[in-house]
Amino acid sequence: MNDNLHQLRCFGCGARISGSEARPDFRCANCGDLFEVEYPGWLSRQGHDRPNPGALKWLWRERRCSSETLDQSGVWRFRELLPILNNFGNAVTLLEGNTPLYPLPRAARALGIDQLFAKHQGMNPTGSFKDTGMTAALSVARERSFEWVACASTGNTSAAMAAYAARAGLRSLVLIPEGKIAWGKLSQAMDYGAVTCQLKTDFDGCVKVLAQIVQEAPIYLLNSVNPYRLEGQKTPAFEIAEAFDWNVPDHLIVPGGNLANSSALGKGFRELRELGLVARMPRISVIQAEGANPLVQSFAKFQGEKIEPVEAHTRASAIRIGNPASWRKAAQVVKETGGWCLDVTETEIAIAKAELGAEGLGCEPASAVTLGGLKKLRADGKIAPAETVVLLLTGHTLKDADYTINFHRGTLLEQREASGHEQAIDALRRDAVSVDATPAAVLAAMKDAAL
Ligand code: F0G
């Protein structure tokens, strides 16, 4: 099998181009839509580039015991399904992927479902799911001899890009909305040596500025309009399918911001089905924050066929996005899998995040929308007790420690937001208490907490 077997197909008009013909902004020259990577050699059943399902399943599992660097990456372990490089030796890896799939027995019991799991993508090297996409797209940048890479970001993309660029010896440029990203993420971009520009605008404004910059300077764009990002981000679908012994779960629930991740996971499951590795795709549902819900509105008003940008507001800063680039791809995934697209309030996000924390699985607020969404889907009777559900947790809890501390101190939510939810919130809050430095005082604090 050759290494590089791909071409790019426009998601809007279907135009096909080679990888090297893509414009710097990765938009189609005909219609302005996004591209997706496709592998023509897989299309014909007799094609000698079409992977063999049984052999692949065996090979991918074997690689988990291999000492080869590429085999130890949870992305490149599946490299037969992302043949995007001329030479896999150009791959830049931090041994991303292979993330844990945790059972959530308490939440499952509370919701009356048998099988609930969290696929924790926050357990990646820079603490978010972005690493799986970044290893793929940054490797392409290196192979094509770019010296600079850039992204606009709500924080996690920039952290991942800066780290992978540093590993590859490339320079990186980060555009972030000033004052609107979590400190943990900003600190990572600095630590990994990015040129970090805070712009007086929102994420959507940063995207616009960067789209102009890449037209003027030889900088490789690493936002998720870059279709190679999605090739890496589809691999958690392979890990999930493998973890269920190639019987996919019934339902996968994913947060929605710029909507690349839901698109990528859908592509991953679609390819597994088309290649005969699994029999069906799981339902894929996308959950947004109520104040940043353009896809939810698109489904409500236009059956997911058109989108109107919104001015985004949510404390889940990772998904504070009003004009998502990959909305058309994500809408297709929701429709073809029979999933749903819904939103959750700030209060629902805060409670869900604390509940995940109480199970020993911290996550970012943006990740907690998945549990909030599951509760709504269950209450609406859209998920049966016997269904197997996987929540995709996208970011590590330490990315946004301020949010967590504010919740437990009782300073996160306004009174009107907490109103009617006081009992649930009080049961979850664990503020730190100041006590005298004596055993008696500490024991008294324990007694108080047990009440
Ligand atoms: N969860 C987290 C923790 C994120 O950082 C993001 C996106 C999402 C969910 C949404 O994923 O955009 O593919 O729908 N963060 C981007 C960033 C936009 O710049 O880090 P999506």
Structure tokens at 391: 């929540």
**pLDDT at residue 41, rounded to an integer:** 86
Ligand 1 pocket, residue 261 CB under 6 Å? yes
Instruction: Tell how far the Cα of 288 is from the centroid of ligand 1, in angstroms.
Output: 11
**pLDDT at residue 50, rounded to an integer:** 79
Residue whose CA lies nearest to ligand 1 atom number 7: 318
Instruction: Tell how far the Cα of 412 is from the centroid of ligand 1, in angstroms.
Output: 21
- Residue ranges of the chain with per-residue pLDDT less than 50: 1
Residue whose CA lies nearest to ligand 1 atom number 11: 257
> Which atom of ligand 1 has the smallest separation from the CA of 259?
14
- CA 109/CA 107 separation, integer angstroms: 5
**pLDDT at residue 45, rounded to an integer:** 64
Ligand 1 pocket, residue 258 CB under 6 Å? yes
Residue whose CA lies nearest to ligand 1 atom number 15: 318
Residue whose CA lies nearest to ligand 1 atom number 3: 395
> Which atom of ligand 1 has the smallest separation from the CA of 264?
13
Q: pLDDT tens digits for 103-159? A: 999 999 999 999 999 999 999 999 999 999 999 999 999 999 999 999 999 999 999
Structure tokens at 135: 């290893």
**pLDDT at residue 242, rounded to an integer:** 98
Which of 83, 11, 96, 88 is CA-nearest to residue 50? 83
Contact present, 242 and 235 (Cβ < 8 Å): no
Mutate to test the pocket of ligand 1, among 319, 349, 356, 397 (most ligand atoms within 8 A of CB): 319
- β-pair partners for 405: none
**pLDDT at residue 43, rounded to an integer:** 74
Q: pLDDT tens digits for 322-331? A: 999 999 999 9
> Which atom of ligand 1 has the smallest separation from the CA of 366?
1
Structure tokens at 248: 């996919």
Ligand 1 pocket, residue 372 CB under 6 Å? no
Q: Who's near 414: CB < 8 A, 6+ residues apart? A: none
**pLDDT at residue 257, rounded to an integer:** 98
- CA 31/CA 14 separation, integer angstroms: 10
* DSSP secondary structure, 44-81, as one string: STT-TTS--HHHHHHHHHHHTT--SHHHHSTTGGGGGG
**pLDDT at residue 21, rounded to an integer:** 95
The SS3 of residue 150 is strand
**pTM of this structure:** 0.97
- CA 51/CA 192 separation, integer angstroms: 37
